[in-house]
DNA sequence: GCGGATTTGTACGTATGTATG
DNA sequence: GCATACATACGTACAAATCCG
């Protein structure tokens, strides 16, 4: 869940949380991260916010999105 | 096998691979290409995806499908 | 010619991602 | 935030035509 009293943008909060989960080995390389709809429910934000967070992680080289397939951890 | 981390659509990946095999002389003109079920196993995708790939190759004039008989290399 | 196996054709349903209003 | 429409992909099931022992 996002902290609504944290001045950090929701999208940034979500991005950091997802990145933390990746670093903690919560996800594997072969399978996609939870869907946008699932993440939306997990963090209690709108789907657009989830997409913004994923866009940040793409820019940072943390994840890669495969059209129609899902978002994966970026391979180095 | 299809590369699940390649952003190219599965159907496009399969189509290119089949076309490559044809150009490499892997198949002959007299006999049908491997069946959809065989290709499904070869590439690790659903049959619908194989059919989508073959549809692409038909549009490109690479193959011809004989209903209930099989898909053949297109005669020029 | 018979009957089973094979192959393509068709139709669902589900899930996901994309795009738009 | 929500609704709609569409595309890709998977899985399943069955129908129809063909092939072959």
B9 with A68: Cβ contact below 8 A: yes
The segment with the largest mean pLDDT, out of A3-12, A56-65, B5-14, B29-38, is: B29-38
- Mean pLDDT of all residues in B14-22: 96
Q: Which residues of A touch B (CB under 8 A)?
A: 30, 64, 66-69, 72, 75
- Mean pLDDT of all residues in B15-34: 95
Lowest mean pLDDT segment, chosen from A2-16, A21-35, A51-65, B60-74: A2-16
Q: What percent of chain A has pLDDT over 90?
A: 0
Q: Is the CB of B12 under 7 A from strand C?
A: no
Query: Closest Cα partner for B48 from B4, B2, B11, B9?
Result: B11
Q: Which two tokens stand for residue A55?
A: 């866009």
Q: What angle do CA A22, A20, A8 make, to 5 degrees?
A: 135
Best of A66, A72, A76 to disrupt the B interface (most B CBs within 10 Å) is: A66
Maximum Cα–Cα distance across chain B: 36
Say how far apart CA B17 and CA B57 lie, in whole Å.
Answer: 11
Q: Do A14 and A56 form a contact (C-beta atoms < 8 A)?
A: no
């Amino acid at each position: 869940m996002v902290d609504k009293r944290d001045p950090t943008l929701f999208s940034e909060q979500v991005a950091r949380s997802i990145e933390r989960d990746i670093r903690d080995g919560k996800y594997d390389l072969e399978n996609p991260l939870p869907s946008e709809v699932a993440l939306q429910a997990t963090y209690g934000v709108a789907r657009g916010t989830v997409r913004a967070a994923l866009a940040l992680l793409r820019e940072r080289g943390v994840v890669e999105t495969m059209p129609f397939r899902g978002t994966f951890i970026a391979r180095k």
